[in-house]
């Protein structure tokens, strides 16, 4: 099965055909990635200097609708960044509403990010090294079973593509790494929440997803031997993915925008395809 499905929409608020809606829903829930090869996100003139500023060492500059911009240092104008990300979030919402009407009443807005640093050659810890295949899981922001639906756009001002690798299906990942996962220890989730290490309670689901994320990245033999394929996203292209289920790695590229949306599993056409349902089936116990 191809990992990638192209949807030729070129406007964020364009209405998707019924066939496009059906294809998009099926592809995402099956663990494929949607690419919108003609969906660019044009910057306004005053925003263009954001692509030439000194990025510093931050991997991402994150934007939380309720808390504003984080990690921008002195190199960027926070108000300008916040306005840009707010606009991007609105555009991604329009796109998802048009493409995935089934999800519309259930979408919960997560953080957004501006990713101004070249990925290739970036020095980081193994756990934060996104050039290694992984599934997404947020240590500080438990999703408690909700899906992580992310929209990305390459906004590089010239020709640099953003290059990703995609790896094995989630079921295979879970079967390989669950046997070596430790069980959640009683009291730890409450302690983490009390210490404000997590923003809400880390459920057993979040615990196992973090374990999968870390175990995948830490296993260099797995990284080398698992079947994987590269995909390129040119400037002016957008892609959408359930990044909690799709094994992915970002190899190179600079200047991308990303917006996260959270979705309750019950909103899916087929909740059995959620990582929550797959992990609960494999472990034979409720996790959220």
Binding site for Fe ion (CB under 5 A): 136
3-state DSSP helix/strand/coil % of the chain, to nearest 5: 35, 20, 45
Q: What is the closest distance, in whole angstroms, from the C-beta atom of residue 213 to Fe ion in the complex? A: 8
Nearest-angstrom CA–CA distance, 52 and 110: 27
Residues 6+ apart with CB under 8 A from 195: none
Q: What is the closest distance, in whole angstroms, from the C-beta atom of residue 246 to Fe ion in the complex? A: 9
By the 8 A CB rule, do 164 and 150 touch?
Answer: no
Q: What is the closest distance, in whole angstroms, from the C-beta atom of residue 44 to Fe ion in the complex? A: 28
Taken in order 198, 85, 241, 91, the sign of the CA dihedral is positive
**Residue 80 tokens, joined:** 């300008």
- Decide whether 136 or 280 has the Cβ nearer to Fe ion: 136
Q: What is the closest distance, in whole angstroms, from the C-beta atom of residue 130 to Fe ion in the complex? A: 5
- Decide whether 93 or 213 has the Cβ nearer to Fe ion: 213
Question: What secondary structure letter does DSSP report for 117?
Answer: S
Q: What is the closest distance, in whole angstroms, from the C-beta atom of residue 88 to Fe ion in the complex? A: 18
**Residue nearest Fe ion, CB atom distance:** 136
- Decide whether 87 or 252 has the Cβ nearer to Fe ion: 252
- Decide whether 59 or 90 has the Cβ nearer to Fe ion: 59
- Decide whether 20 or 274 has the Cβ nearer to Fe ion: 274
Identify each DSSP E strand in the chain by its residue range. 4-6, 33-36, 61-64, 68-70, 108-115, 147-154, 162-166, 229-233, 238-242, 248-252, 256-263
């Amino acid at each position: 099965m191809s990992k990638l499905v192209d949807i030729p929409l070129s406007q964020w608020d364009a209405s998707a055909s019924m066939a496009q809606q059906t294809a998009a829903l099926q592809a995402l829930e099956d663990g494929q990635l949607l690419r919108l090869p003609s969906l660019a996100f044009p910057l306004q003139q005053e925003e263009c200097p954001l692509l030439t500023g000194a990025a510093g060492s931050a991997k991402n500059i994150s934007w939380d609708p309720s808390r504003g911009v984080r990690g921008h240092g002195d190199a960027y104008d926070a108000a300008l960044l916040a306005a840009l990300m707010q606009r991007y979030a609105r555009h991604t919402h329009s796109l998802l509403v048009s493409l995935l009407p089934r999800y519309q009443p259930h979408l919960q807005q997560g953080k957004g990010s501006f990713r101004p640093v070249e990925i290739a050659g970036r020095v980081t810890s193994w756990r934060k090294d996104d050039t290694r295949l992984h599934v997404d899981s947020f240590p500080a922001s438990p999703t408690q079973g909700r899906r992580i639906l992310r929209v990305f756009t390459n906004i590089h001002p010239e020709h640099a593509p953003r290059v990703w690798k995609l790896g094995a299906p989630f079921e295979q990942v879970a079967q390989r790494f669950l046997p070596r996962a430790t069980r959640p220890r009683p009291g730890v989730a409450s302690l983490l929440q009390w210490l404000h290490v997590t923003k809400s309670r880390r459920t057993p689901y979040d615990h196992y997803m973090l374990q999968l994320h870390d175990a995948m990245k830490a296993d260099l033999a797995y990284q080398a031997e698992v079947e994987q394929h590269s995909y390129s996203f040119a400037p002016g292209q957008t892609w959408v993915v359930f990044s909690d289920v799709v094994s992915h790695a970002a190899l190179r590229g600079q200047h991308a925008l990303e917006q996260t949306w959270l979705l309750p599993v019950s909103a899916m056409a087929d909740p059995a395809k959620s990582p929550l349902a797959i992990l609960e089936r494999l472990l034979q116990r409720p996790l959220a």
